[in-house]
């Protein structure tokens, strides 16, 4: 979501006449987009800001002005800290108000030496105010839903991104068509809780994600569709059927489980049990036997015992994820779990994370190795690290490196997989 927001900010700035600087020392305007999901994000911001302050001072000695802005969830949660700890910051806006950057920059130009802080939760949607999104390559993000009403007891998102809102169907289809006209082949629909999408169509009728995916599938020229991140309890049968019926929908789904223990899931205020989750997985695998699943896990949530952790490991085994993110529980001030008793010791969290990751990574490696010898369609996105190499993604979101010229970028090519490591595949374009 932050990558998407940063892209939208870039379009705002381009429309104002800004161009991307090749080095930070040459930038007249520097904006940090921040995430507050786990602790340390704020500390990282302040250390990065300290580095930028030096650059700002050096530029000032050369008579150059540097405007520094901070955007995103850290601002929403810690705006007072920013003004106190980094007084050289010129503006800070939350994730819902960055569309106001043009007027903020005008104010700064007129009044000089002010720090504008904007952490409103505006009644209106930012999408009504943002300039039209531009295609930036073969693969584009498209935000369809923002905010969250689930209030998982560990999570800061409902407090920083606000209540859940869905964009209207027509707006999304128009944006998707513009992206495809610009060369996008793959659209990844985004939302904190994307599968609870319930936007209005042109007649004011509420429509769900399955309806939207069906509509988007009809766009000529669009080759691939994805959506992320889904909340398990909102995986309804209609949406599961899309994985059978829509050939453009990629056979990969990120479906965060968080924990395999029903006791912990309840304490997390997740509206699903491990049994219900397995039931959804079974239906998905019936809809598309080739589907690959990924997940997020939190270890060391308050009250998690060895048995609870074993239940998580059991679920990993049962679902056999092809990829997953895993985190140590991080206390977020203001969330209910931050003050739960039975907080788990750091060294226990560390140990459990290592055990879990060992298992997850070996599954990921196995899956990647199983792909060797197969031919997969790959959407090439960018130059590789080495000369003459290009980088792309398979339908399962695996990263792939192949030898090839830049004429292959933003195209889907059949690739024979020649080797597979933990983090990426190698292949030959056919
Ligand atoms: N809406 C998505 C997740 C968005 S946050 C969902 O419900 O699944 C992305 C991931 O960050 C979460 O899935 C969770 O695993 C992790 N996360 C969120 N808050 C966290 C916390 N306090 N400590 C550790 N991990 C956390
Ligand atoms: Fe956070 Fe996701 Fe839970 Fe919403 S559903 S509160 S974003 S973890």
Tens digit of each residue's pLDDT (9 = 90 or more) over 281-320: 999 999 999 999 999 999 999 999 999 999 999 999 999 9
Q: How confident is the model at residue 58 (pLDDT cuts 50, 70, 90)?
A: very high
387 and 311 within one domain: no
- 394 has pLDDT over 90: yes
271 lines ligand 1 (CB under 6 A): no
Per-residue pLDDT, 217 = 98
Six token digits for residue 194:
């994307």
Mean pLDDT over 242-267 rounds to 98
Residues found in the chain: 430
Shared domain check, 146 and 36? no
Q: Is the pLDDT of residue 135 over 80?
A: no
Contact residues of ligand 2, CB 6 A cut-off? 148, 150-152, 155, 157-158, 192-193, 231
Residues 6+ apart with CB under 8 A from 218: none
What ligand 2 atom has the least distance to the C-alpha of 192? 7
| pTM beyond 0.85, yes or no | yes
Q: Based on the domain organization, do 336 and 391 belong to the same domain?
A: no
Q: Are 299 and 270 within one domain? A: yes
Domain shared by 336 and 404, yes or no: no
Nearest ligand to residue 153 Cα: 2
Closest-lying ligand 2 atom to the alpha carbon of residue 258: 8
Q: Are residue 423 and residue 323 in the same domain, yes or no?
A: no
- Give me the domain span that covers residue 173: 126-370
Last residue of a domain, one of 66, 88, 118: 118
Please give the average per-residue pLDDT across 186-212, as a whole number.
Answer: 97
332 ligand 1 Cβ < 6 A: yes
Counted domains in the chain:
3
pLDDT at 219 over 90: yes
Cα gap 349→356, rounded to integer Å: 10
Would you say 326 and 311 are in contact if contact means Cβ atoms under 8 Å apart?
A: no
> How is residue 404 annotated by DSSP?
-
* pLDDT score, position 151: 96
Residues 70 and 204 in one domain: no
Q: Which of 118, 134, 155 finishes a domain?
A: 118
| Cα 161 to averaged position of ligand 1 atoms, centre (Å) | 13
H or E element, residue 69: strand 67-72
Q: Which helix (H) or strand (E) holds 310?
A: helix 306-319
Domain closes at, from 354, 370, 386: 370
- 342 and 397 together in one domain: no
Domain with residue 382: its CATH number is 2.40.50
Measured from the Cβ of residue 25, the count of other Cβ atoms closer than 10 Å reads 12
Closest CA to 241 of 218, 213, 221: 213
CA 297 to ligand 1: nearest atom: 15
Q: Could you tell me if 330 and 300 are in contact, meaning their C-beta atoms sit under 8 angstroms apart? A: no
Verify whether ligand 1 is closer than 6 Å to residue 268 (CB atom).
no
pLDDT of residue 27: 97
Q: Phi/psi of residue 324, each to 5°?
A: -165, 155
- Ligand 2 centre to CA of 115 (Å) is 31
Same domain assignment for residues 397 and 357:
no
CA of 243 from ligand 2 middle (Å) equals 23
> 126 pLDDT band (50/70/90 cuts)?
confident
d(CA 109, CA 101): 12
């Amino acid at each position: 979501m932050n990558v998407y927001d940063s892209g939208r900010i870039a379009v705002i700035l381009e429309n104002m006449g800004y161009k991307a600087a090749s080095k930070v020392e040459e930038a007249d305007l520097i904006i940090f987009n921040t995430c507050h999901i786990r602790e340390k994000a704020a500390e990282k911001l302040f250390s990065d800001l300290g580095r930028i302050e030096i650059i700002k001072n050096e530029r000032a000695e050369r008579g150059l002005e540097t405007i520094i802005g901070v955007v995103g969830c850290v601002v929403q949660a810690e705006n007072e800290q920013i003004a106190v700890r980094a007084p050289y910051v010129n503006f800070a806006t939350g994730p819902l108000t960055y569309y106001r950057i043009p007027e903020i920059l005008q104010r700064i130009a007129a009044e000089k030496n002010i720090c504008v802080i904007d952490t409103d939760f505006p009644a209106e949607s930012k999408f009504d105010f943002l300039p039209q999104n531009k295609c930036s390559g073969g693969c584009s993000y498209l935000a369809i839903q923002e905010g969250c009403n689930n209030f998982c007891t560990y999570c800061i998102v409902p407090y920083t991104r606000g209540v859940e809102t869905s964009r209207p169907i027509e707006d999304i289809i128009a944006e998707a068509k513009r992206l495809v006209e610009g060369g996008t082949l793959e659209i990844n629909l985004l939302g904190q809780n994307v599968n609870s999408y319930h936007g209005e169509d042109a007649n004011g009728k509420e429509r769900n994600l399955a309806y939207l995916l069906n509509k988007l599938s009809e766009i000529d020229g669009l080759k691939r569709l994805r959506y992320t991140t889904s909340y398990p309890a909102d995986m309804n049968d209609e949406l599961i059927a899309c994985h059978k019926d829509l050939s453009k929908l990629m056979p990969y789904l990120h479906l965060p489980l968080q924990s395999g223990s029903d006791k912990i899931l309840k304490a997390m205020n997740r509206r699903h049990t491990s049994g219900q989750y397995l039931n959804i997985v079974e239906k998905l695998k019936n809809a598309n036997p080739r589907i690959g699943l990924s997940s997020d896990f939190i270890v060391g949530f308050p009250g998690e015992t060895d048995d609870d952790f074993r239940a998580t490991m059991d679920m990993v085994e049962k679902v056999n994820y092809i990829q997953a993110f895993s985190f140590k529980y991080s206390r977020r001030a203001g969330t209910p779990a931050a003050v739960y008793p039975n907080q788990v010791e750091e060294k226990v969290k560390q140990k459990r994370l290592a055990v879990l990751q060992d298992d997850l990574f070996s599954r990921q490696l196995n899956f990647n190795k199983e792909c060797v010898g197969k031919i997969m369609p790959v959407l090439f996105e960018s130059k590789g690290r080495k000369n003459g190499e290009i980088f792309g993604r398979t339908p399962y979101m695996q990263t792939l490196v192949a030898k090839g010229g830049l004429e292959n970028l933003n195209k889907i090519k059949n690739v024979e997989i020649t080797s597979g490591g933990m983090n990426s595949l190698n292949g030959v374009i056919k």
